Amino acid sequence: MKPLIAGNWKMNGLQSAKQEIERLIEKFSGAAPDDRDVLICPPATLIAGFAANYSDEAIQIGAQDCHPETSGAHTGDVSAEMLADAGAAFIIVGHSERRADHGETSDIVRAKAQAALRAGLTPIICVGETREEREAGEALNIVGDQLDGSLPETGAEIVVAYEPVWAIGTGLTPTLEDIGDMHDFIRSKTPEGTRLLYGGSVKPGNAGEILAITNVNGALVGGASLNADDFYPIIKAAPGAM
């Protein structure tokens, strides 16, 4: 299964951030690696410009969220169709920061995933437990419930990203055994061929050992994706001939 290395820029990046994209492309010598997929999900303000200038290079461009509806009176929201029109190829849905900060339920996440598919885009559906839930021995139950509620009923391509909430941006990561156990569990509950990403303080120093775990088919990278010097070693660490 071809690895997918995705960068989630979150609420970071102005027009000047194109310099990091260009630096990353330079590291590829301008050619897309054919044994792995590389994705950048910048803020919505940058999607159209990045897609127009770089999506034929070494990377694809994605979005960080969408509204479930096609159009309507939803001030400040952006539909999946609008994002597709801007040049996005993927949409992250259900990130823990959306679930926590905006109260998004798994039903909402499923609706957004269905919207992405409706627009011809690939949803990256995020799941993960809090520290308290893991320490209570509930991690598998929590993630299982999120999968049951968030995955659309379709044969179309989806991606699932496991991000333990307590590891995002903290520098903490689960043990390799814990990551492997969770990805094996997620594999048992997802359609065949679904790429499973790990996210949560993925860095150049730990990417190789994480990406070597069975059923880890890539990474969803936060802060380290903002800098080409950090992101490129993570991309390079994915199994393959690169």
Q: Which amino acid is at 118?
A: R
User: Which residues does the annotation mark as catalytic?
Assistant: 95, 163
Which domains, and CATH codes, for the chain?
4-237 (3.20.20.70)
Position 28 scores a pLDDT of 85
- Alpha-carbon Rg for the chain in angstroms: 17
What's the confidence (pLDDT) of residue 140?
97
- Partnered with residue 8 across adjacent β-strands are 41
The pLDDT assigned to 215 comes to: 97
Which stretches of the chain drop beneath a pLDDT of 70?
30-32, 241-242
Provide the pLDDT for residue 186. Answer: 98
Structure tokens of 187? 């594999």
What is this structure's pTM? 0.96
Determine the pLDDT at residue 231. 97
Which pLDDT score, from 0 to 100, does residue 167 have? 83
The pLDDT tens digits of the residues spanning 179-236 come to: 999 999 999 999 989 999 999 889 999 999 999 999 999 999 999 999 999 999 999 9
pLDDT value at residue 162: 97
Res 116: pLDDT = 98
Mean pLDDT of the chain: 94
**pLDDT value at residue 33:** 76
pLDDT at 241: 56
